[in-house]
Amino acid sequence: MPEHRLKPLTPLGHAAPETVTIGPLTITEVVTTALASLASRRGRAADVAAVAAAQGIPLPGPGRVAAGPTYTAFWLGPDQWMVEAPFASHEDIAAILRPAFADAASITEQTDAWARFDLAAADLPALFERLCGFDLRASPTDAATRTVIEHLGCYLVRRTDTALTIYGPRSSAQSLHHTLTTAARSVY
């Protein structure tokens, strides 16, 4: 993709992403992910599945995330997924995916609609029981769901037992970050 002269800002409004450590917890602002929504057109589920398989795009079931070599995807809703890819190689992710799926799927760029915070700690459930009603303790390690955190609709995407991603509305990145750090200081 051609070079341009514009310098990006992170969701928190800085030139470089922010990392904070509170006790055992690290909260990292992540800007290296490209996002696109992938929705199957009516009656084209099979085609979408086939293309996705060929492209190495996993299509997990409801409430789940699945990682592939390049693409990771989590379920958004019936016949709809969010596809993650490295920003460096896939900045224009929608343009990359569209040719492959042609008219079988609706693909929409979502990269900058979301602020991504990765959280890592040995006991994440201890933090999340102060944040939302999602039962992290009992959820599988490939859980991915949307829920409410302090009035904000966010996606929770589990990566491992001790690592998790929160996607929140980009415009509210500061409010969300404030909520996360406040809760962390309260818990740890």
Partner 1 sequence: MSQMNRIAGGQIDRGQTLRFSFDGQAFTGHAGDTLASALLANGVRLMGRSFKYHRPRGPLSAGSEEPNALVELRSGARREPNTRATVTELFAGLEATSQNRWPSLKFDALAINDRLSPFFAAGFYYKTFMWPAAFWEKLYEPLIRRAAGLGTLSREPDPDAYDKGFLHCDLLIIGAGPAGLAAALTAGRAGARVIIADEDFRMGGRLNAETFGINDAPAADWAAQTVADLAQMPNVRLLPRTTIIGAFDHGIYAAVERVSDHLAITPAGKPRQILWRLYARRAILCAGATERPIAFENNDRPGILLAGSLRAYANRWAVAVGTPTAIFTNNDDGLRTARDLIAKGVAVSAVIDTRAGGPKLPGTDHIQGAEVIDTAGRLGLTQITIRDAQGRTRTIPAQALGVSGGWNPNLNISSHHRGRPVWNDALAAFTPGPGGPQGLTAAGAAAGAFSTHAALATGAAEALAALADLGISAAQLDLPKAEDTPTAITPHWYVAAGKGRAWIDQQNDVTVKDVKLAHQENFRSVEHLKRYTTLGMATDQGKTGNMLGLAVMAELTGKTIPETGTTIYRPPYTPVAMGVLAGRSQGADFRPRRLTPSHRWAAEQGAVFVEVGMWLRAQWLPRAGETHWRQSVDREVLVTRNSAGICDVTTLGKIDIQGTDAGLFLDRVYANTFSTLAVGKVRYGLMLREDGMVMDDGTTARLGPNEYVMTTTTANAVPVFRHLEYCRQCLWPDLDVQLISTTEAWAQFSVAGPNARKLLEKLVDQDISDAAFPYMACAEITVCGGLRARLFRISFSGELAYEIAVPTRYGDAMIRELVAAGQEFDAVVYGTEALGVMRVEKGHVAGNELNGQSAALNMGLGKMVSRKKDAIGMVLSQREGMTRDGGLRLVGVKPVDPAKSLTAGSHFLALGAPSTAAHDDGWLTSVVFSPNLGHSIALGYLKNGTARLGERLRTVNLLAGTEVEVEITSPHFIDPEGARLRA
Partner 2 sequence: MIINHPLLGPRDAQEFVYFGDAALIARPDGLSEGAEATFHDYLYLRDNPAGDHRELWYHEQGDRSWLVVTRNTLTHDITAVELARDVARHMGRGR
Interface characters, 150-169, with partner 2 (x: CB under 8 A): ---x----------------
Q: Is 137 in the site for partner 1 (CB under 8 A)?
A: yes
Interface characters, 41-80, with partner 2 (x: CB under 8 A): ---------------------xx-----------xxxx--
User: Which partner in partner 2, partner 1, none is near 75 (CB below 5 to 8 A by kind)?
Assistant: partner 2
Shortest Cβ 171–partner 2 spacing (Å): 16
Instruction: Name, in order, each residue with C-beta under 8 angstroms of 43's C-beta and a sequence gap of 6 or more.
Output: none
User: Which partner in partner 1, partner 2, none is near 159 (CB below 5 to 8 A by kind)?
Assistant: none
Q: Is 114 in the site for partner 1 (CB under 8 A)?
A: yes
Question: What does the angle CA 125 – CA 137 – CA 60 come to, to the nearest 5 degrees?
Answer: 110
Amino acid residing at 111: T
Q: Is 99 in the site for partner 1 (CB under 8 A)?
A: no
Interface characters, 1-40, with partner 1 (x: CB under 8 A): xxxxxxxxxxx-x-----------------x-----x-x-
Report the DSSP beta bridge partners of residue 35.
84
Give dist(CA 44, CA 36) in Å, integer.
18
Give dist(CA 187, CA 130) in Å, integer.
8
Quick one: which H or E segment has residue 95? helix 93-101
Q: Is 138 in the site for partner 1 (CB under 8 A)?
A: yes
Compare residues 69 and 126 and give the one whose CB is closer to partner 1: 126
Residues in the chain, total: 188
Binding residue (CB under 8 A) for partner 2 from 26, 147, 162, 175: 147
Closest alpha carbon to 42 in 105, 107, 99: 105
Indicate the SS3 state at residue 93: helix
Question: What does the angle CA 150 – CA 165 – CA 15 come to, to the nearest 5 degrees?
Answer: 90
User: Which partner in partner 1, partner 2, none is near 62 (CB below 5 to 8 A by kind)?
Assistant: partner 2
